[in-house]
Amino acid sequence: MTRKDQIIKKALDIQIIDDRLTAIGIMDFDALRDTVDGLYAAFPDNFYHTFAVKANALVKVLTALRQYGMGAEVASPGELTIALTAGFQAHEIIYDSPAKTWDDLRTCIQNDISLNIDNLQELARIDRLMLEYPKSKSVIGFRINPQIGGGEISSTSTATATSKFGYALADDNNKQNLINIYQQRPWLKSLHTHSGSQGCSLELMANGVAALVQLAEKINDSIGHQQIIRLDIGGGLPVNFSSDQITPSFKEYATVLAAAVPTLFSGKYQIKTEFGRAIVAKNGIIITRVEYTKTSGGRHIAITHAGAQIMTRTAFLPKSWPIRVTGYLSNGQQRTAAISDVVATDVAGPCCFAGDLICVNRQLPKLQPNDFVMVHDTGGYYFSNHFDYNSLPRVAVYAVSGIEDNLTIKCIRRADSLQDVLRKM
């Protein structure tokens, strides 16, 4: 029995899933810890790894990641609040966002929270704030866009020529402008880029990081001493959504980086990373129940409770974000080709629009009402998604740890039923 089969069985035994279930998320905390251990083992001691909170903004998940040794990268006031609630200290947090308000910036600088500047207008605000708070311990850097090109998914590619993120390094005289900016501001001690994302090759990501390091060296040389002490190389390691295999691994990325940008590994700089998806995606699953099935135009359609509200990217951009599903009978046995006909299937969600589909025309053992569907690799950007979290949380989340007979499952976020909500009104 695979670990995922064991989780379903245990969840049935203790009645977390039954015929009333709509959809739940499950995070495997043991696997999460192994992932973070693997991350730290892949890079040397001058690397400090922060977690991109947007990928999974659940307090319990963040509390665990902090215990496992990670910091937090936040990109909105909400994420900052959640990170603070999870116990992260100011010096463990880095604030990135292209749309920081005066208030966001002031809060960071007043409270010694590090941040990356996105553009020249933001720099002008920071100039004023640094006069007000000259003793701030915030480590401040510029986010550059190395403009090395995007990967296969344009909506998440951040290093295209026209990306909305960061200071466009290859435009006009921008490189020299940035050197002048650093020369005039001794408090600019960091430099940042986030050049990768799902759909990018490791080599492309390394090109962006190489551009960052070259620029940092040039700035330091022009100043005559090492003013830039920290390089923030972002996150963006892609995840394999087509099988349980973990590829590319952090080790593979470290090997590509070491070959392309050896300076990162020399100990000269503190290196900060901001991985999100690669930390959590493969450590989470969604389980949802098949409410109804029908046949339309010869297609078998299984209607479930997991759709665009928690699988937003897959529903809206299905070609870029295909996801694996596995059917289970209501007794927890996997629905395999040995016990059911395999038919062309659409697995649909509960939302009231036609594109609300998890998979389309997929050959699957024929799902039946009250079956369960496991949606794999959904620990990041899926059930922790803001669309669900900020409105009416319908999807409870459980933490699983331990093995075999000692497997435990605990609720870490309750879901409100409509009755609960109406009662509170």
Question: By CB under 6 A, is residue 277 in contact with ligand PLP?
Answer: yes
Minimal distance, residue 277 CB to ligand PLP, in Å: 4
Question: By CB under 6 A, is residue 315 in contact with ligand PLP?
Answer: no
Question: By CB under 6 A, is residue 232 in contact with ligand PLP?
Answer: no
Nearer to ligand PLP among residue 279 and residue 407 (C-beta): 279
Q: Which stretch binds ligand PLP (CB under 6 A): 37-45, 175-183, 234-242, 336-344?
A: 234-242
Q: Which residue is nearest to ligand PLP (CB)?
A: 276
Q: 171 φ, ψ to 5°?
A: -75, 145
Question: By CB under 6 A, is residue 194 in contact with ligand PLP?
Answer: yes
Going across the sheet that includes 284-289, the strands are 325-328, 372-375, 284-289, 23-28, 396-401, 408-413
Nearer to ligand PLP among residue 56 and residue 309 (C-beta): 56
Question: By CB under 6 A, is residue 377 in contact with ligand PLP?
Answer: no
Nearer to ligand PLP among residue 151 and residue 327 (C-beta): 151
Non-local CB neighbours of 72 within 8 Å, separated by 6+ positions? 50, 51, 53, 62, 65, 66, 79, 83, 86, 88, 92, 93, 94
The dihedral of CA 210, 215, 220, 224: what is its sign? Answer: positive
Nearer to ligand PLP among residue 274 and residue 377 (C-beta): 274
DSSP reduced 3-state for 271: strand
What are the DSSP calls for 33-62, one per residue? Answer: HHHHHHHHHHS-TTEEEEEEGGG---HHHH
Q: 27 φ, ψ to 5°?
A: -110, 130
Q: Counting every residue, how long is the chain?
A: 425
Nearer to ligand PLP among residue 254 and residue 278 (C-beta): 278
CB burial of residue 319 (10 Å; 0-12, 13-18, 19+): exposed
Question: By CB under 6 A, is residue 122 in contact with ligand PLP?
Answer: no
Question: By CB under 6 A, is residue 100 in contact with ligand PLP?
Answer: no
Ranges within 196-215 binding ligand PLP (CB under 6 A)? 197
DSSP reduced 3-state for 400: strand
Q: Give the residue, chosen from 96, 104, 356, 377, that forms a contact with ligand PLP under the rule CB under 6 A.
A: 96
Nearer to ligand PLP among residue 140 and residue 302 (C-beta): 140
Residues near ligand PLP (CB under 6 A): 52, 55, 73, 96, 158, 194, 197, 234-237, 274-278
